[in-house]
Amino acid sequence: MTDLNKRKPLDIRRRSIYLLPNLFTTGALFAGFYAIVQAMNGKFETAAVAVFIAMVLDGLDGRVARMTRTQSEFGAEYDSLSDMVSFGVAPSLLMYEWAFRDLGKVGWFAAFIYCAGTALRLARFNTNHEVIDKRFFQGLPSPAAAALVAGFIWVMNDYGVAGVDVRWVSVALTLFAGLSMVSNVRFYSFKDFNMRKSVPFIAIFLLALFFILISSYPPGVLFLLFLGYALSGYVSWLYGFRKKPIAPPLP
């Protein structure tokens, strides 16, 4: 009886619904829904920006929940459903409306591969997050994949390039993002980065330069940033593969 009473408050806490973190999750969900609506209306740049806004809000909800100690099973499930809309359905539909309409089956097949990759990535994360190394993601995170797709559309639209003119590049990029999410390639998670640790003055100066760089040309800098992150996992994999010792031949 005593053990049950001790576990009861924790169970109630984990199953409770907290307003503050779920408010950020709802904001991310709305941004993803808004991106879908704008893509259907042909406002592709607005839709791409909405995906990035969803990514920012998605990054805040978990941190707010940990800071306020309001983590719950409801919040975790709600966050996954929001991610599926904002980083799965919205980018795939955005890319389809922008570049894939004239490709027939190839177009919707590429968009579906990305969407399915997001669903599988989220399902694998939900079942394996307790047993994998917290320092790395297994497969490309869905927000980074969405930023890669939306960033490409944002840059091309900013330069006045129509989706039909780069449709095959778009197919390759979409398939790369979708398949990277379900790969076993490891990507650094930055979860071991300690925000409370003291840093030298130069670190703050470099951080300020980083924000200045982003503000100078947001679509191009953000796209290159997430493209570099998407390639970093493969570079690390190739480097680790080359460093593996070769087994000596059998006598």
Would you state the pLDDT for residue 204?
A: 75
Would you state the pLDDT for residue 132?
A: 67
Q: Which two tokens stand for residue 211?
A: 């924000």
- CA 215 vs. chain centroid, Å, equals 21
Higher per-residue confidence, 247 vs 200: 200
pLDDT tens across 16-52, in order?
667 778 899 999 999 999 999 999 999 999 999 999 9
Query: Is the distance from CB of 54 to CB of 32 less than 8 angstroms?
Result: yes
Q: Which domains does the chain have, with CATH numbers?
A: 2-241 (1.20.120.1760)
Residue 17, CA distances (Å) to 7, 81, 92, 125, 212 in order = 18, 15, 30, 22, 38
220 Cβ contact partners less than 8 Å away, ≥ 6 residues apart: 155, 158
Q: Which two tokens stand for residue 12?
A: 């109630």
Q: Which two tokens stand for residue 24?
A: 């950020």
pLDDT tens across 97-150, in order?
999 998 989 999 999 999 999 999 999 988 876 656 677 888 999 999 999 999
Higher per-residue confidence, 235 vs 62: 235
What burial letters (b/e) apply to 65-91, b meaning 16+ CB within 10 Å?
beeeebbbeebeebbbebbbbbbbbbb
pLDDT surpassing 50 at residue 7: no
